[in-house]
Amino acid sequence: MTAEHNLKAARRIVLEIFNAGAVELIDALFAPGYVDHALPPDAPSGREGLKATLAMFRQAFPDLEYSIDDQIASGDIVAQRVTGRGTMKGEFMGMPPTGKTASWQEMHWHRFDADGLLVEHWDVTDSFAMLMQLGLGSAPG
């Protein structure tokens, strides 16, 4: 597939799956052997792990929303810089809800196959900023 196709698919992942909750699109946009290098330690692998992780996030942050700040493609790779926002109204990875709102930065790298399906994903999330805003972390010292 073309870089343009991959850019559109990566945008759909953020806007339609994560923001709108269209979980059924995971099976349409992600390859059966999808590998996610950023799932929580206890999550199942592949597409099912992504579905479980998304459900966990949306339960903890019912107003979860991402904006795409930057996006670029090179060959079969799409890189995105996104900002996540949400109010913690449910338990999140064993932490009690705080009712506070946070925003945080994430970087994503998506690798697509020749058919335009997502086959691999990596991400880096500024979890420290999120936890500080939620009142669940403190600065060293």
User: Taking residues 6-17, what's their average pLDDT?
Assistant: 97
Residue 29 pLDDT: 97
| Complete DSSP assignment for 107-121 | EEEEEE-TTS-EEEE
Whole-prediction pTM: 0.91
pLDDT over threshold 70, residue 112: yes
Q: How confident is the model at residue 137 (pLDDT cuts 50, 70, 90)?
A: confident
Q: How confident is the model at residue 1 (pLDDT cuts 50, 70, 90)?
A: confident
Topology (CATH level 3) of domain 3-133: Nuclear Transport Factor 2; Chain: A, (3.10.450)
Question: What are the boundaries of each domain within the chain?
Answer: 3-133
Helix (H) or strand (E) holding 106: strand 101-112
pLDDT digits (tens, 9 = 90+) for 22-67: 999 999 999 999 999 999 888 899 999 999 999 999 999 999 999 9
CA 23, 14, 79, 57 torsion: positive or negative? negative
